[in-house]
Chains A and B, each alone.
Chain A
Amino acid sequence: MFERAVAGERRALGRLLTLVERGGPAGDELAEIAHPRAGHCHVVGLTGAPGAGKSTITGRLAAAASAARADDTPGVGVVAIDPSSPITGGAILGDRIRMDEVIDREGTFVRSMATRGSSGGLALAVPGAIRVLDAVAYDPVIIETVGVGQVEVDIAGTADTTVVVVTPGWGDAVQANKAGLLEVADIFVVNKAERPGASDARRDLELMLDLGAHPVEGVPHWRAPILMTTATDGTGIDELWNEVGKHRTWLQETGELENRRQSRDRFEMLGRVDELLGAVGRARAESDHGVRLLGEVKERSMSPAAAASELLNDLLQ
């Protein structure tokens, strides 16, 4: 099926992404096949508050990227994430409706994904999905996060270039100086820039950047540019695509790209370590030993932390 996807069969690629989402042995096997062939595409992450215009910008950006692609490449991969209901697990994945009218369907592959219980603005399957799209030569791959608040910054650990979208009236300079989302931006977009307050939003971001890290001799410095867009009519999108390109070049020239990818690999590996160790721990908690330890916690003769250490004692040597 992987070879069929490489040959351009979209249905095969769609099915592969389902295997990634399902995980398990089939997902792991796919990662084994895809990983050696991946590592070429530029990953662009778009994040921002709900309703800021992420989907519309993603669609427009994909269209711009697709228009600029070389003839022998399949085009632009898009993964658009929306939240799963924490109650029922269901989801309404509604990002395509903002994109279908503008994207070139031949040169773009759009996949909607539900978070399925993940809380950092991404779905667990995102790194795997990027790997597969990358391995079948989609470049760039654009990831649109769920609408986020202030601290859901998983995207920055996943993307090469992180674009943070704000809108006029999103907050003032104090909001801008709080920690979180704004710290991870490589590029800022003030969308809905035709609305009142757009220049104020821009000014507040500039002020925040002025207060931030200053260039140090010998350390590569990138000051996040601030772009004004009206995504609904496409204003400013070419400039945004241009800035993404500049950031990509900067990452490559400074070696920062290698750093980011290394920390991404590490992040993914450690995430899997957590998962595997967690599975071992949960299984052991069900064993006689685990039940006995839980009993001691109940009797208050042992703390939960001590019980956990005891449970994994052989692994913690």
Chain B
Amino acid sequence: MTDAAAATDGEPLRVILAKLGLDGHDRGLKVVARMLRDAGVEVIYLGLRQTAATIINAAEQEDADAIGLSMHNAGHLTLAPRMVNAVKEAGLDIPVIVGGIIPDEDITELLDKGVAAVLGPGASTDEVIAAIRDSVPS
């Protein structure tokens, strides 16, 4: 197991990967799933057309360390903060990380609204892992 992906206590990180709503572009999500697997992460892959409720449900049952959302339909400014709020309302302390096609000028707004990190195309495995590790509460 690579040190990069182990949680602070030596256990593998468990990360949920999903796409919210009507957005059928899941190639990126699959690439990230594989990237994380190869870095020693246990990926709980939910895939396409999820709702905030299904993701929260999975996060509770799977005791996930982080939620990764992939967004390619320009809905990120609406959907990502909604997900962040749903996590808070459920009383969970789990970071929401967004990847995909996010215009640079939207990144600050997403971070302001509670998204833990925003990753674009070309982010390396190390960058993705670092973003997850930095945002998971220890």
Interface residues of A (CB under 8 A from B): 10-11, 13-15, 17-18, 21-22, 84-85, 87-94, 96-97, 100, 105, 109-112, 114, 116
**CA A167 to CA B6, docked complex, whole Å:** 38
A93: chain B residues within 8 A (beta carbon)? 42-45, 62
Question: Do residues B44 and A90 form an inter-chain contact, with CB atoms below 8 A?
Answer: no
Interface size on B, residues (CB 8 A): 31
**CA A219 to CA B53, docked complex, whole Å:** 51
Task: Kindly report which residue of chain B lies nearest to residue A11, judged by CB atoms.
Answer: B60
Question: Do residues B41 and A90 form an inter-chain contact, with CB atoms below 8 A?
Answer: yes
Question: Do residues B46 and A92 form an inter-chain contact, with CB atoms below 8 A?
Answer: no
Question: Do residues B63 and A15 form an inter-chain contact, with CB atoms below 8 A?
Answer: yes
Flag whether B54 is at the interface (Cβ < 8 A).
yes
Task: Please give the distance in Å from A81's CB to the nearest CB on chain B.
Answer: 12
In B1-59, which residues have CB < 8 Å from any A CB? 1-2, 5, 9, 11-12, 33-34, 36-47, 50, 53-54, 57-58
Q: Which residue of A13, A96, A100, A114 is within 8 Å of B42 (Cβ)?
A: A114
Task: Kindly report which residue of chain B lies nearest to residue A114, judged by CB atoms.
Answer: B42
Task: Kindly report which residue of chain B lies nearest to residue A19, judged by CB atoms.
Answer: B63
Q: Closest 4 CB pairs between A and B?
A: A89-B1, A90-B37, A14-B63, A18-B63
Flag whether B78 is at the interface (Cβ < 8 A).
no
Flag whether B138 is at the interface (Cβ < 8 A).
no
Question: Do residues B46 and A100 form an inter-chain contact, with CB atoms below 8 A?
Answer: yes
Flag whether B123 is at the interface (Cβ < 8 A).
no
A87: chain B residues within 8 A (beta carbon)? 38
B47: chain A residues within 8 A (beta carbon)? 94, 97
22 pairs of residues in contact across A and B, judged by CB atoms under 8 Å: A11-B92, A14-B60, A14-B62, A14-B63, A21-B11, A22-B9, A85-B40, A88-B5, A88-B37, A88-B39, A89-B12, A90-B12, A90-B41, A91-B37, A91-B43, A92-B34, A93-B62, A96-B45, A96-B46, A105-B57, A110-B61, A114-B12
Question: Do residues B60 and A10 form an inter-chain contact, with CB atoms below 8 A?
Answer: yes
Task: Please give the distance in Å from A104's CB to the nearest CB on chain B.
Answer: 11
Task: Please give the distance in Å from B59's CB to the nearest CB on chain A.
Answer: 8
**CA A94 to CA B29, docked complex, whole Å:** 13
Task: Please give the distance in Å from A13's CB to the nearest CB on chain B.
Answer: 8
B57: chain A residues within 8 A (beta carbon)? 10, 105
